[in-house]
Structure 1
């Protein structure tokens, strides 16, 4: 029977204008919506194109293994209930079909007839409880190596990458030991990591499949390269991070990937003059890693400095070939095109780059010396409106979103301290919480949200070993905190972000207590300079309330960490 589309129903009412009839294939009585056949027979014909004579009933119909769908349904009814397990095939019973039990189309089949295995009662599984867990793999240790074949050079390994395949070991068979001792050791380590880190069953099974594919033919002295491993894991959609943890514990993984900062740096400097790009690369690496009499600043500091200096370097690369050709007029001409914070940041980065070049004798004279950077005026913090806060509260619909909104709006916690919160930082009995090393009292709202989140966390990830308070689907299988993206995903695009909620909380405290910087430093643990800045903003709003869209609102939280609630 060729596949034909289902007839359209112009009235929009199910089965409108259709007359009950008997299916031409299985003889079931009901409303036929597929040109004289019921929907199961229509789908059966779509899977098995063409018609043939059924070996049981002798009719000319679409068949599967020489039998029509009606005979297969009758064989399922004739099979004894004790032989319901999935491995018992229907073929012996469909050969014995000599009659057919008629039925109504569109009705669900009895549960005791359509089930493929004995049901178990328990928490959502059936009568006998959940199936027993699979036994752990046999204990194994590192294989003893007696003689090693010298490894091939790296150039030959890159030209002829190794092809990984699944071995002869079947993980579905319980209590079997792989013939490869390296694979047996890897499976034993993976089981221990799964128990220690709280891996889910899906992740553990995926890691086992990856290990079978990688180590089924592993020999002594061989190593696994991360550059080859990433392609294989991506092709088969296997978890790369958990698999590399097992391989690192075995000591057979070589991480030959280029550093992420090096890749980013090469891409940024690709369109610069060769000499300028070489000196800029060395300067950026010195900012990140440090050097003689230079303190290491880290990746983010080096990225920010290079991002601010790139516009000037691209402009100069179009005219010059070396940093020594740059003059003071060139630096001033570039700074004149910028204003505010961008001008100040560009002046700081150019002074850093050219001073480093002069110190290392790459230029004869520092053209940026004695160029005053100036100090950008500090803006006045503005409080959030009730409508902006209401939008954020309405968007926080999940337990974790409501919790970190409360931590930012009540306790003025930053993004990173919220991610770093651990379970032992929360003392529900004494109603105390430790954020960024400072212990604060827990108000009623935060206490209720903490209880809701802990109940959700215990139900959703009962076996996780992650010590952090907030966990996600990814972090629940490890020990790392959640990512910034996961934390701010619910508030993306809203006017009141976590950072603005934190600023609004500290500004509201300053407005309530008369712009006292000592009080702000004691309550929130602020640096004296930051506390003075919040006090100045509050004093400006109190003296000139027309600069703000709203006066100090009555939604105060109190200086004791928010006992007043939101």
Structure 2
């Protein structure tokens, strides 16, 4: 007997009948149920196969929504500029009173939504939701108006409609403005809090130039900007207690702080400070760069250690979904980086010839990866049969578009594990060096490693092999060998 919160279906039916017209919380009435109105068998006619039958004897199937007729874009002529911008409230929309299905902008947006839905493989539910949302926001639209994200979100989210897909259609039409503050701006505002005004101004200019680029510089990866500012923020807060501007920071201040950090932390801190003061010197806000002629020094790398087999087995046990198992195999068998896994497309998987292309390098497809890939493709075909996303790995969000999954989605299954994707990738490359000998050329050819990286793996493998040889020596210290 199936139970819901400890009560059977008859209890729920009786409690609902007792509380009808009074309250919506049935828990008190469930506790008072002492009798049931029993259901007698064979009083209901068996349902015929197929769609249900209506009153007039016809089959009632799912209503088919006709495709919108192709319409041209609305003609744009002269218009009266608005005197001021007014915030519109779509939460009060009533379809019976406010719907204007003959609006040319609504007709054009419906046609665009139909084309996008076919191109991206939107399911029927998403198409109907987008159509309802377009009726809400475009029934009274006139030429020249721009719809903002802050106006769409409260009205569509309260009705359970897709804000992202609706915004995508409006963006293609050319009448959408995303007024949400960027996550980078919010993060930068938090990191600049507590800095002196003069220091804050230079640091903000430097961070935005790294993120957005400039006339003579390319934009850097956002993770680089995060790492730079997170590394030097403690010393910037310390200087803000004594100084009002970066021009007051002297060389001794730099050396004093570098003496408190060592190894890779010293290197990364000096690189970030040098970038900051170099930009401030070019902008003319400081007179002299205090980080000049301070050597970073050669960083000593330790021996890369292999993963414990127990940690690898724990990672294998954790993953259960087909996509996560394939991601694990790509990292542990083919040493693929998370970014390369995200970029993989269906064309990169050649099942017939048993080949896999990762970052432009052709690799043979082993039996384990082949079976996991087939299992994932079968799940993908059943779960999202109409998706047009060309990437190999997709989820419920990217199945409706053509972009790749996020880095969080790739590494989510192994979060908290010792054997992360990066550790598995490193362990696979080290295992190759141990199995085929510490040859940097072989590692560079197999995995496409840079020269210094391949040499580091070869040195680590050589050190591990020497340690293994020492442990296999005799107790007297002499190696075991032939007579």
What TM-score range do you get, normalising by the shorter chain?
0.7 to 0.9
SS at match of 1:490: helix
SS at match of 2:357: strand
Once residues 415 and 496 of structure 1 are traced to their aligned partners in structure 2, the CA distance between those partners, rounded to angstroms, is: 14
Of residues 32, 35, 41, the one that matches 2:14 is 41
SS at match of 2:134: helix
* CA distances 1:30-55 after superposition (whole Å, capped 9, x unpaired): xxx99xx96522321123349xxxxx
Change (3 A) 1:112 1:484: farther
* CA distances 1:304-363 after superposition (whole Å, capped 9, x unpaired): 212212111111111111111112222122222222222221111112222322333322
Once residues 473 and 392 of structure 1 are traced to their aligned partners in structure 2, the CA distance between those partners, rounded to angstroms, is: 24
Is 1:362–2:295 an aligned residue pair? no
Of residues 13, 38, 45, the one that matches 1:105 is 38
Once residues 409 and 224 of structure 1 are traced to their aligned partners in structure 2, the CA distance between those partners, rounded to angstroms, is: 47
Alignment of 1:423-434 (within 5 A): 423-434=346-357
* CA distances 1:393-429 after superposition (whole Å, capped 9, x unpaired): 1112111111111111111111111111111111111
SS at match of 1:112: coil
Once residues 12 and 254 of structure 2 are traced to their aligned partners in structure 1, the CA distance between those partners, rounded to angstroms, is: 77
TM-score (norm 2): 0.85
Is 1:403–2:326 an aligned residue pair? yes
Alignment of 1:429-468 (within 5 A): 429-468=352-391
Change (3 A) 1:378 1:232: farther
SS at match of 2:414: coil
Once residues 257 and 200 of structure 1 are traced to their aligned partners in structure 2, the CA distance between those partners, rounded to angstroms, is: 28
Once residues 416 and 303 of structure 1 are traced to their aligned partners in structure 2, the CA distance between those partners, rounded to angstroms, is: 18
Alignment of 1:410-425 (within 5 A): 410-425=333-348
Of residues 61, 64, 67, the one that matches 1:136 is 67
Larger-Rg structure? 1
Larger relative contact order (CA 8 Å, sep ≥ 6): 2
* CA distances 1:161-193 after superposition (whole Å, capped 9, x unpaired): 4545435479xxxxx992222112212211111
**Residue 21 of structure 1 corresponds to which residue in structure 2?**
none
Q: What count of residue pairs does the alignment treat as equivalent?
A: 449
Q: Which runs of 5+ in 2 are unaligned?
A: 24-28, 30-35, 53-58, 472-483
**Residue 262 of structure 1 corresponds to which residue in structure 2?**
185
Is 1:223–2:146 an aligned residue pair? yes
Of residues 409, 419, 432, the one that matches 1:486 is 409
**Residue 351 of structure 1 corresponds to which residue in structure 2?**
274
Change (3 A) 1:39 1:482: closer
Change (3 A) 1:369 1:43: same
**Residue 320 of structure 1 corresponds to which residue in structure 2?**
243
Whether the aligned pair in 1 keeps the contact of 2:14 and 2:37 (CA below 8 Å) is no
Once residues 41 and 422 of structure 2 are traced to their aligned partners in structure 1, the CA distance between those partners, rounded to angstroms, is: 54
Is 1:166–2:99 an aligned residue pair? no
**Residue 206 of structure 1 corresponds to which residue in structure 2?**
129
Whether the aligned pair in 2 keeps the contact of 1:224 and 1:254 (CA below 8 Å) is yes
Once residues 279 and 367 of structure 2 are traced to their aligned partners in structure 1, the CA distance between those partners, rounded to angstroms, is: 55
**Residue 382 of structure 1 corresponds to which residue in structure 2?**
305
Change (3 A) 1:337 1:259: same
**Residue 50 of structure 2 corresponds to which residue in structure 1?**
120
SS at match of 1:526: coil
Is 1:526–2:453 an aligned residue pair? no
**Residue 54 of structure 1 corresponds to which residue in structure 2?**
none
Once residues 111 and 477 of structure 1 are traced to their aligned partners in structure 2, the CA distance between those partners, rounded to angstroms, is: 42
Whether the aligned pair in 2 keeps the contact of 1:309 and 1:350 (CA below 8 Å) is yes
TM-score (norm 1): 0.73
Change (3 A) 1:273 1:521: same
Whether the aligned pair in 1 keeps the contact of 2:95 and 2:136 (CA below 8 Å) is no
Is 1:542–2:469 an aligned residue pair? no
**Residue 194 of structure 1 corresponds to which residue in structure 2?**
117
SS at match of 1:544: helix
1:545 to partner: Cα distance: 3.2
Once residues 110 and 503 of structure 1 are traced to their aligned partners in structure 2, the CA distance between those partners, rounded to angstroms, is: 68
Whether the aligned pair in 1 keeps the contact of 2:101 and 2:135 (CA below 8 Å) is no
Is 1:303–2:226 an aligned residue pair? yes
* CA distances 1:205-225 after superposition (whole Å, capped 9, x unpaired): 222222111111112222212
Once residues 334 and 47 of structure 1 are traced to their aligned partners in structure 2, the CA distance between those partners, rounded to angstroms, is: 73
Change (3 A) 1:370 1:110: farther
**Residue 26 of structure 2 corresponds to which residue in structure 1?**
none
Whether the aligned pair in 2 keeps the contact of 1:169 and 1:212 (CA below 8 Å) is no
**Which is worse superposed, 539-548 or 240-249?**
539-548
